[in-house]
Amino acid sequence: MAGVSVASVSRFINSPDKVRAETRERIRLAMQECNYRYNYVAKVFATQRTQTIGLVIPTITNTVFADSTRGLQDEATRRGYQVLMVNADYDPDAEGELVRHLLERQVDGLVITASDPHGAIAGELATAGIPAVFLYSTLSEGPVSSVGIDNERGGFDATAHLADLGHERIAMLAGSFTSSDRSRHRYDGYRRCLSERGLEFEPGLVVEIPYGLEHCREGVARLMEAAQPPTAIFASNDLMAIGVMGELRAFGLSVPRDVSVVGFDDVLMSSYVAPRLTTIRQPVYEMGRRAAQMVLDALDRGGQSVPRHLILDHELVVRESTASLRRA
Amino acid sequence: MAGVSVASVSRFINSPDKVRAETRERIRLAMQECNYRYNYVAKVFATQRTQTIGLVIPTITNTVFADSTRGLQDEATRRGYQVLMVNADYDPDAEGELVRHLLERQVDGLVITASDPHGAIAGELATAGIPAVFLYSTLSEGPVSSVGIDNERGGFDATAHLADLGHERIAMLAGSFTSSDRSRHRYDGYRRCLSERGLEFEPGLVVEIPYGLEHCREGVARLMEAAQPPTAIFASNDLMAIGVMGELRAFGLSVPRDVSVVGFDDVLMSSYVAPRLTTIRQPVYEMGRRAAQMVLDALDRGGQSVPRHLILDHELVVRESTASLRRA
DNA sequence: ATGAAAGCGCTAACAT
DNA sequence: ATGTTAGCGCTTTCAT
């Protein structure tokens, strides 16, 4: 239509300076006239590269994942990559499914917040043949790279803060261990703190619930209707901590007067709720950025690289939801 | 490798029953041996159909969009489609960009929460040549289908609730009009209510801010530091309403004792914050489901169909953040 | 600066 | 039940 070959059109699209101005104009006109639309799928098919990194997150409902995704997205965009995000709803089986799906879609790299980085997913990633990194998990070894914080120490620090305030009956409301190794590691830290402080561990003070605000009611009920209810609750993440505070109020209990609550993540919302939530801050934007960096760097090096395990610093942020124990 | 043609392999993948059991086994073995991975991109390229519907949302940080996306996702999955979600960060220019991007990616249909369905995006969609629907907007006509609620009436109802409680100085903290026609329509309803109730409209009582919790501080400051501060605030959405409540507390003000607050959306979080938020509920899951339904139905009919404009019911949910005006 | 042509991995129509 | 083959729209190498 423009009287040129497809090669010239391709050049026009990808490096306009390689085609004469006059030809450029002819092509532009023809494109306009026939309402040309570039077919990205054909390009990917031809080049075998999508310039896309696949991202698997546990849920879209907890905004931490939105925040880390932003970091990942920014870094990817900066380096000419896109990100294809899918959520697994905290379901380990779905994770494998989604990874396969992303692989079929020819993503160039993968970052995943997995339920269990030691589970089946590890093998899946190992054979994928593209750079992959685990995000959020605490890993110090293994064939696939990772970036996260030390969740065990985070759990320890949260619990220690409560112990420092004089609490002895400290409960943990944990997101289900099978759907999150972070929850398990935070629990490990909780246990270690209890033992180091000489506090007795009571199985009844740990309740494991599925992730999500809507499951907090039952968890809080189990905790507070016991013969000896806790005076402080450590929740696996801020979302659930906010859920806990809501349910505590429904029980006629006041935070922090009757019970102290600490969360994990330091989601923006946590500075806005009443009372403002004490929590463990994770540098999530930075974590997302670093994860992208790792897969992009590997890609730059031709896909091959030694696995790295990056553990960033977390930080206790004391706000209004925790207070000294009032002795009866 | 299995001694069969590519056609048989294709059949094996897409309709295994069309190939003899013995051949099936040979293929399976060969696949295993050479670590075969299906190339989805090639399939899309060959068939010219992605079985994917593109979704553009304003932000991933407000969980309403997560909720409507779930409805959309469920319906799509049920009918064998996937959804490719991208977020525009409330930027009208980004919306156009993303739509073009999705089109290049050959999505079969499009659903978009647009800043302004009457803006440039409308033309973009009209020429796209694939089914598209606007989600969340109040539209009763136009070439592209839509599903939403009556945002003007929603804004009216929110304001009327405050007026019914005796408030006369009712402010609106609005998400920027240029990035959301919903905000504009809710504002229109606010204005109509004021006028119907014989309440004087004061420009100083309307402040427009960018979306996001982090911008609420300035908005609340502008409102409450005025000579005659409002006794009630209607916020464009729940997220901002929660932000408002947080900032009001920072000002030493109590909700609802000193000022009443009403939001919009009825996000799950709104039942957990303190005080529990009074708001206008949108049936967002259903909205997402219906949007998917519309594009999928159009696709089933071969892409052609008359535009439909669906307006679902909203509902005022009265909780704890609003109270009768205490006269000085 | 431009053109010719091979090739990316699959599907689908047709033939056997 | 299986094989043959054209073709999807682009990139890229090699010629000119």
Structure-block tokens of residue B2: 């299995």
- Which residues touch A142 (CB under 8 Å, ≥6 apart)? A117, A118, A122, A307, A309
Give percent above pLDDT 70 in chain A: 99
Contact check, Cβ <8 Å, B41/A37: no
Of B68, B110, B116, B67, nearest in space to B90 by CA = B116
Q: Are residues B163 and B278 in the same domain?
A: yes
Nearest to A272 among B35, B50, B213 (CB): B213
Sheet order of strands, A260-262 included: A206-209, A170-175, A232-235, A260-262
Q: Are residues B34 and B113 in the same domain?
A: no
| Ramachandran angles phi, psi of A146, nearest 5° | -155, 155
The mean pLDDT value of chain B amounts to: 95
Does residue B328 register a pLDDT over 60? no
Question: Burial of A122 by CB count in 10 Å (0-12 exposed, 13-18 middle, 19+ buried)?
Answer: middle
Does residue B206 register a pLDDT over 80? yes
Q: What is the pLDDT of residue B327?
A: 60
Confirm if A176 and A90 have CB atoms less than 8 A apart.
yes
B48 touches strand D (CB under 7 A): yes
Give percent above pLDDT 90 in chain A: 94
User: How far apart, in whole angstroms, are the C-alpha atoms of residue B170 and residue B183?
Assistant: 16
Q: Are residues A125 and A200 in the same domain?
A: no
User: How far apart, in whole angstroms, are the C-alpha atoms of residue B202 and residue B200?
Assistant: 6
Residue A326 lies in a domain: no
Q: Which residue has the tokens 């050959």?
A: B106
| Ramachandran angles phi, psi of A210, nearest 5° | -65, 150
Q: Which residue has the tokens 């033992």?
A: A195
Structure-block tokens of residue B11: 């059949």
Peptide bond into A92 cis (omega under 30): no
Q: Are residues B198 and B270 in the same domain?
A: yes
Q: What is the pLDDT of residue B1?
A: 80
A10 touches strand D (CB under 7 A): yes
Does residue A87 register a pLDDT over 80? yes
- How many Cβ atoms are within 10 Å of B317's Cβ, its own excluded? 17
When pLDDT is averaged across residues A70-90 and rounded to a whole number, the result is 96
Structure-block tokens of residue A170: 């400290």
Q: What single DSSP character describes residue B269?
A: G
Residue B317 lies in a domain: no
Sheet order of strands, B145-149 included: B82-87, B52-57, B109-112, B132-136, B145-149, B309-312
What kind and span of H or E run contains B69? helix B63-78
What pLDDT, in 10s, does the model give residues A296-314?
999 998 867 799 999 999 9
Q: Are residues A272 and A182 in the same domain?
A: yes
Sequence-ordered alpha helix ranges (H) in chain A: 6-14, 21-34, 40-47, 63-78, 92-104, 120-126, 151-164, 181-196, 216-224, 238-250, 284-300
Number of domains in chain B: 3
Residue B306 lies in a domain: yes
Q: Best mutation site among A13, A31, A36, A63 for testing chain B: the one with the most B CBs within 10 Å? A: A63
User: How far apart, in whole angstroms, are the C-alpha atoms of residue A219 and residue A239?
Assistant: 14
Q: Report which residue is nearest nucleotide C6 when distances run from CA to C1'.
A: A46
What pLDDT, in 10s, does the model give residues B229-242?
999 999 999 999 99
- Which residues touch A173 (CB under 8 Å, ≥6 apart)? A207, A209, A216, A219, A220, A223, A233, A234, A235, A236, A240, A244
Does residue A327 register a pLDDT over 70? no
Task: Show residues of chain A in contact with B249, CB under 8 Å.
Answer: 274
3-class SS string, A189-224: HHHHHHHHCCCCCCHHHEEEECCCHHHHHHHHHHHH
What pLDDT, in 10s, does the model give residues B278-299?
999 999 999 999 999 999 999 9
Q: Are residues A223 and A303 in the same domain?
A: no
User: How far apart, in whole angstroms, are the C-alpha atoms of residue A69 and residue A75?
Assistant: 10
Q: What single DSSP character describes residue B19?
A: S
What kind and span of H or E run contains B232? strand B232-235
- For residue B216, the Cα-to-chain-centroid distance in whole angstroms is 20
Q: Are residues B75 and B171 in the same domain?
A: no
Q: Which residue has the tokens 């395990």?
A: A309
A23 touches strand D (CB under 7 A): no
What pLDDT, in 10s, does the model give residues B239-280?
999 999 999 999 999 999 999 999 999 999 999 999 999 999
Q: Are residues B239 and B167 in the same domain?
A: yes
Q: Are residues A175 and A273 in the same domain?
A: yes
Q: Best mutation site among A74, A99, A105 for testing chain B: the one with the most B CBs within 10 Å? A: A105
Q: Report which residue is nearest nucleotide D3 when distances run from CA to C1'.
A: B5
Residues with CB under 7 A from strand C: A 3-8, 11, 18-20, 22-23, 45-46, 48; B 6-7, 9-10, 13-14, 38-39, 42-43, 45-47
Structure-block tokens of residue A327: 């002795």
Confirm if A183 and A58 have CB atoms less than 8 A apart.
no
Contact check, Cβ <8 Å, A214/B268: yes
Angle at which helix B151-164 crosses helix B181-196, to 10 degrees, equals: 40
Q: Which nucleotide's C1' is closest to A21 (Cα)?
A: C1
**In which domain, by residue range, is B234 found?**
151-282
Q: Are residues A61 and A144 in the same domain?
A: yes
What pLDDT, in 10s, does the model give residues B128-156?
999 999 999 999 999 999 999 999 999 99
Q: What is the pLDDT of residue A1?
A: 81
Contacts 24+ apart (CB under 8 A), A121-127: A121/A92, A121/A95, A121/A96, A124/A96, A124/A99, A124/A100, A125/A99, A127/B35
B50 touches strand D (CB under 7 A): no
> What's the pTM?
0.95
Q: How far is CA A107 from CA A69, A305, B170, in A?
A: 16, 18, 51
Structure-block tokens of residue B133: 């629907």
CATH code of the domain covering residue A63: 3.40.50.2300
Residue A66 lies in a domain: yes
Give percent above pLDDT 90 in chain B: 94
Q: Are residues B163 and B126 in the same domain?
A: no
DSSP A30-75: HHHHHT----HHHHHHHHS---EEEEEES-SSSHHHHHHHHHHHHH
Residue B195 lies in a domain: yes
Residue B323 lies in a domain: no
User: How far apart, in whole angstroms, are the C-alpha atoms of residue B72 and residue B66?
Assistant: 10
| Ramachandran angles phi, psi of B175, nearest 5° | -65, 145
What pLDDT, in 10s, does the model give residues A223-277?
999 999 999 999 999 999 999 999 999 999 999 999 999 999 999 999 999 999 9
Residue B318 lies in a domain: no
Contact check, Cβ <8 Å, A40/B214: no
Q: What is the pLDDT of residue A56?
A: 98
Partners of A57 in beta bridges:
A87
Partners of A252 in beta bridges:
none
Sign of CA dihedral A111, A112, A113, A118: negative
Q: Are residues A172 and A215 in the same domain?
A: yes
Query: CA of B46 and C1' of D7: distance in angstroms?
Result: 8
Q: What single DSSP character describes residue A266?
A: -
Chain C bases under 7 Å from protein CB?
1-13
Residue B45 lies in a domain: no
What pLDDT, in 10s, does the model give residues B51-73?
999 999 999 999 999 999 999 99
